[in-house]
Homo-oligomer: A and B are copies of this chain.
């Protein structure tokens, strides 16, 4: 998902009845409200291995991620996670539960990660992936993961891999999700 820059004829100002500055169109007064965006994704496992996708698009092209992406309007969180696995890995997944709710405040993102499994073993790279692969734990390319939250989700999944009853994780202590 690319950034969407505002035209220059939007000005930062506080609309009447509001308490925060917003971007307002100089020409028609349209207020461009912005809100945090939700990413829905999954740690997808199959026969003890974990599905990762190597990104074909920026940011972090060439690096590995779990299937995840921005929710569209009128979706549920799990519908979005299922759609992303289909789009990125041609994978048909079953969502089992919420793994984690992460906040990346610098970029105004909320990420909702699930534990999921493959309904059928077939996977293939979608348009946004260079390749997709089921990794044994010891073969995960830790130094080539796309985002901090991919590592968090994998680590936290590993902690609860044999449990079907665990509380949702949040950011690991002290981690904001910023790229270093």
Contacts and interface: CB of A to CB of B under 8 A. Distances in A.
Interface string A39-60: 0000000000000000000000
Contacts of A171: 76
B170 A98 contact: yes
Interface in A1-55: 4, 6-7, 9, 20, 25, 27-38
Given A6-B30, A77-B110, A35 B70 contact: yes
- The count of identical subunits is 2
Contact of A38 (B7, B9, B35, B74): B35
A167 B170 contact: no
A34 to B, nearest CB: 6
A78 B103 contact: yes
A27 to B, nearest CB: 7
Q: Which of A25, A73, A79 has the most CB of B within 10 A?
A: A73
A45 to B, nearest CB: 17
Contacts of A170: 77-78, 98
A165 interface: yes
A105 B8 CA distance: 33
Nearest to A77: B103
Interface in A63-99: 70-79, 97-98
24 contacts: A4-B31, A6-B30, A7-B30, A9-B28, A20-B72, A25-B25, A35-B70, A35-B71, A36-B71, A36-B72, A36-B73, A36-B75, A73-B108, A74-B105, A76-B103, A77-B101, A79-B103, A79-B105, A97-B168, A98-B101, A98-B168, A165-B166, A165-B167, A168-B168
Interface of A: 4, 6-7, 9, 20, 25, 27-38, 70-79, 97-98, 101, 103, 105-106, 108, 110, 112, 164-168, 170-171
